[in-house]
Each structure stands twice: as structure tokens, then as C-alpha cells.
Amino acid sequence: MKARRKASKPWGGRFAQATNPLVESYTASIQFDRRLYRYDIQGSVVHARMLAKCGLLAKAEADKIATGLHEIVGEIERGEFRFDPSSEDIHMAIEGRLIEKVGEAGAKLHTGRSRNDQVVLDLRLYLREEIGLVRRLVAGLQRALIGQAESHLDLIMPGYTHLQRAQPVLLAHHLMAYVEMLERDRARLTDALVRVDVMPLGSGALSGVGLPIDRRFVARALQFRSLSANSLDAVSDRDFVIESLAAFALLMAHLSRLAEEIVLWASSEFGFIELPDAFATGSSMMPQKKNPDVAELTRAKTGRVFGALVALLTAVKGLPLSYNRDLQEDKEPLFDSVETVKAALSAMAPLVGGLAFHRDRMRKAAQDGFLNATDMADYLVLKGVPFRQAHEIVGRVVRRCVSKRCRIEELSLKELQTRFSGLFDQDVFAYIAVDACVDRRRATGGTARATVKRAIGAAKTRLRSG
Ligand code: ARG
């Protein structure tokens, strides 16, 4: 392919030949980094004000720049802006248009700044906002789970290990387990935000800026918590992106687990829940079908976010200091992950909120399968039997019930006393009733109604405090 006639590039001075169009399209990021336009302009307006304050720009020039940039926001938002791949990226596209509009003042905007520190600024402003949105959506899903927990404080279901029925628990306790996972996700995002909220401008291309600039002014105007401390690090650091992706990845893992349970519980085999019609889908062939596609897609979309995390870890692992063009590859995985996480949370919250629980079926499942066997052993422990012996005795009780096809509580007291242990008394039946099993787990973190109520109260307080 023949190289085009030399086009005017901001860096064109050094080149005798025009860029090959293949290179232009291969290296351009404008198709995806255009998303950053608002942050780019927000940063440029403050940068120009700082230059004026430091005497590097006349006040009138800074005003012209600000007005021009605000007009460009309007052009972009009205769809009038031409995003040309020859502009390479959003930074050059906006600067180019500004120069077209305001002339020489526009050509002064890039004083004391490089795209290397500019792009990091944009990304940090973007992530700061998006993390805030994601945190709010996580809180929304937590509220949906808490709402269901509060309306089902007396619904007993089987708790599982190895997907085998294990011990009875409250549905509310099960749902609150997800609220706790999501609380850790919110905390991780808050913590990641500390490292996102750092102002990199003033690092220049790599070594800092030789003109008398004021980094603190910029940080204050853009409400950053701190300044980057090393210019080489600042332009090559994408830890804050990777950390955010790691937090998103774990959040998606939690959503995927919740999604998996919804898929399982909606099956006829479990029959624990009815999906809300508005959040289920049908089959084009089988008229009877009602499918949990929202949960399934959440489960699968998790892979995109894991992939983004691995892609970025891989992109940075071999990079020498400082900026390398490899770093441009941070954007698509990050943008895709942010959109995926927001979409998943937005769909999962109303799905959870709309679930109808089949309480009889859930309770019956908790009553079949000897889920009270541990409590029967505890009963003997309270009468002085060492736990290992009690375990053995109740194991034999269960074996007997399996062969008689009955529940433990259907054996007679006489049979319990003569075949298994003279320590069994009439009160054993009340002791091993599923409600009693649930209600005696009162230690913090347990499934007793009163304890779960307290956990719900604590979760609501945390949500209120942000
Ligand atoms: N589009 C670039 C990126 O996303 C901006 C920085 C480019 N810097 C450079 N020296 N080519 O990383």
C-alpha cells in the first residue's frame, strides 16, 4: 500500500513521509478512547487555568481555550464532531479541533503536558466516576437481597455442602451470605479508589516538566486526594486499572455464584423459586419453557472480566519504564469490564427482587435428608457422650432410617432407647425439630432468626453510611 501524502500530525515535524494508512488504523485508539472525551476536556480546562495562573498563558487565552473546549463538548454530544482515525486518539482529536476553532491559544494548550500524563489523568477521572457508579449498583443489589431476606425471616431451607443437604438454614441467612460477599466488594472498590484518586499531570512525557507549573492547583481543582510522586512511575503505572479490574473480577465471581444458584433453584429438580416473568425468557420451540437467561448470561459474562484482568496483567508484565504504547491496550478491556459489571448488576438486582420462593417445597427439602442429625448428636453430647461416640450412634440411627425409608423423628422413642442409646428421652423429638435446629444457632454469624435479624440490621446500617 502506498503511503498517503504527508498529513499534518502534531508530531509531523520530524517525518519526511506520511504515515502508512495501515499504521494509522493499527495504532489509532480514537474508536474506543473517544469515550474519555469529557474527562479529557475537564482536565484540559483546568490545565489551561493552571498555565494562566503560572504566567505561561494569558488569562484571555485560557478563557478562549475553555470556551472552545466547552463548545467541543457540545459538538461531540450533538454528534457533530468528526472522529477521524488520522487524529490517532481523543487527545489529539480534541486539541486539533480546538486549534481549528481558536487558533494560536489552542496551540498553547499542550504546554507542559504530554499525552502520556494526559491519558492517565483521563483514565483516572473516568475510573473514579465509574467506581462510584458500580459501588452504588452493588448497594442496589444488596438492598434487593436484604429485602427478600426481611420478607422471608421464617422460611427454612436446606443448607448445603458439596451440594448435598447438610443442615437446615433460613433462606434469609443464605441470602445474607451474598450481602456479605458484596460488602467486601464494595470495600475493595473503596480501597482501589484510594490508588485511582492520584493526580498524574505534571509528569510530562516521563521525567517531569521543566516549566514553572503548579501541580497542586490542578489536583485541587479536579479534587484529587494526592499527587503522583514519581514521573516515570506516573506515566507507566496501570496498577490502578488492574486493581480495579481485580475488584470487578471478584465481584463478577460473586454474581456468577448467585446466578448459578438462581439457575439451579429455578429448575424443576430444585423447584425452590419462580422467576419473575419480566426477567425470564421463553423458547422459540418449546412453548412450556421459562428460562433463567439473565442469570446464565451473568454467569458467562464473568469470563470477559476475568479475561480483561489477565490481559492487562500480561500487557504490563514485560514493560520497561516508562510509557510504552502497549499501555494503550488498557482501555478496551477496562471499558468492556465496566459496562459488563454495570449491566450485570443492573439486571441481577431486579431479578433477585422479583423472585418468588416456594416455601413449602423448600421447607420439605429441609425436613427430608436427616439434616437434623448433627443436632441429635449434640443432644447426646449435652448428656455427656463424647462427640465422636455420639456421631457414631446417630450415624447408625440414620442408616436404620434409610433402610426403613423414614425420618429420624418417625422412629419411636422405644426403638431409639433400645437399639441406639438409653440416654434418648421424649424431649429429643422437640430438640431435633428443624425450627429448633435453626433457632439454637444463635452465636454471631449463625442462622438463628434473632441472629439473622441482627445481621440484617447491621448490613442496613453499613449501607446507610455509604
Ligand atoms: N493513545 C495513547 C494511549 O492510550 C495516548 C498516549 C500516547 N502517547 C504516545 N507517546 N504515543 O496510551
What are the tens digits of pLDDT across the range 342-377? 999 999 999 999 999 999 999 999 999 999 999 999
Residue of 90, 92, 119, 327 to test ligand 1 pocket, by largest number of atoms within 8 Å of CB: 119
- Ligand 1: atom nearest CA of 331 is 4
The yes-or-no verdict on residue 287 having pLDDT over 90 is no
Nearest CA to ligand 1 atom 4: 328
Q: Above pLDDT 70, what percent of the chain?
A: 98
Going by their DSSP bridges, the two strands 198-199 and 226-227 should be labelled as parallel
SS3 358: coil
Q: Which helix (H) or strand (E) holds 169?
A: strand 164-170
CA of 326 to the centre of ligand 1 (A): 9
Q: What is the pLDDT of residues 5-63, one digit of tens each?
A: 444 777 888 888 888 989 999 999 999 999 999 999 999 999 999 999 999 999 999 99
Measured CA distances, 257 to 70, 181, 190, 359, 365 (Å): 45, 11, 22, 22, 21
Single pTM value for the model: 0.95
Q: Which regions of the chain carry the CATH code 1.10.275.10?
A: 20-111
Q: For residue 153, what is the DSSP state?
A: T
Architecture of the domain delimited by 116-214+225-361: Up-down Bundle (1.20)
Q: What was the pLDDT predicted at 278?
A: 87
CA of 89 to the centre of ligand 1 (A): 8
- To 10 degrees, the CA torsion angle through 445, 446, 447, 449? -80
Q: Could you tell me which of 152, 122, 159, 128 has the C-alpha nearest to residue 34?
A: 122
Quickly list H helices, 237-292: 239-266
Q: What is the mean pLDDT of the chain?
A: 96
Task: Give the integer Cα–Cα distance in Å for 179 and 146.
Answer: 7
* Ligand 1, CB cutoff 6 Å, lining residues: 29, 33, 89, 115-116, 119, 325, 327-328
CA of 18 to the centre of ligand 1 (A): 19
Residue of 14, 121, 325 to test ligand 1 pocket, by largest number of atoms within 8 Å of CB: 325
Nearest CA to ligand 1 atom 3: 328
Q: Which regions of the chain carry the CATH code 1.10.40.30?
A: 365-464
Measured CA distances, 65 to 24, 106, 119, 365 (Å): 28, 6, 19, 69
CA of 188 to the centre of ligand 1 (A): 29
The yes-or-no verdict on residue 423 having pLDDT over 80 is yes
CA of 25 to the centre of ligand 1 (A): 14
Nearest CA to ligand 1 atom 12: 328
Measured CA distances, 260 to 183, 185, 290, 342, 370 (Å): 20, 19, 16, 19, 25
Q: Which regions of the chain carry the CATH code 1.20.200.10?
A: 116-214+225-361
CA of 41 to the centre of ligand 1 (A): 16
Task: Give the integer Cα–Cα distance in Å for 395 and 373.
Answer: 8
- Ligand 1: atom nearest CA of 90 is 1
- Ligand 1: atom nearest CA of 29 is 1
Alpha carbon distance, N-terminus to C-terminus of the chain: 57
Q: What is the pLDDT of residues 97-122, one digit of tens each?
A: 999 999 999 999 999 999 999 999 99
Of 1.20.1730.10, 1.10.760.10, 1.10.40.30, 3.40.50.1820, which CATH number belongs to 365-464?
A: 1.10.40.30
Residue of 31, 39, 89, 335 to test ligand 1 pocket, by largest number of atoms within 8 Å of CB: 89
Specify whether the CB–CB gap between 370 and 398 falls below 8 A. Answer: yes
Q: Which residues are catalytic?
A: 162, 283
Residue 59 CB burial class (10 angstroms; 0-12, 13-18, ≥19)? exposed
- Ligand 1: atom nearest CA of 205 is 10
Average confidence (pLDDT) over 271-300: 91
Please list the helix, strand and coil fractions of the chain in percent, rounded to the nearest 5, in that order: 65, 5, 30
Task: Give the integer Cα–Cα distance in Å for 454 and 250.
Answer: 26
Architecture of the domain delimited by 20-111: Orthogonal Bundle (1.10)
Nearest CA to ligand 1 atom 11: 325
CA of 44 to the centre of ligand 1 (A): 16
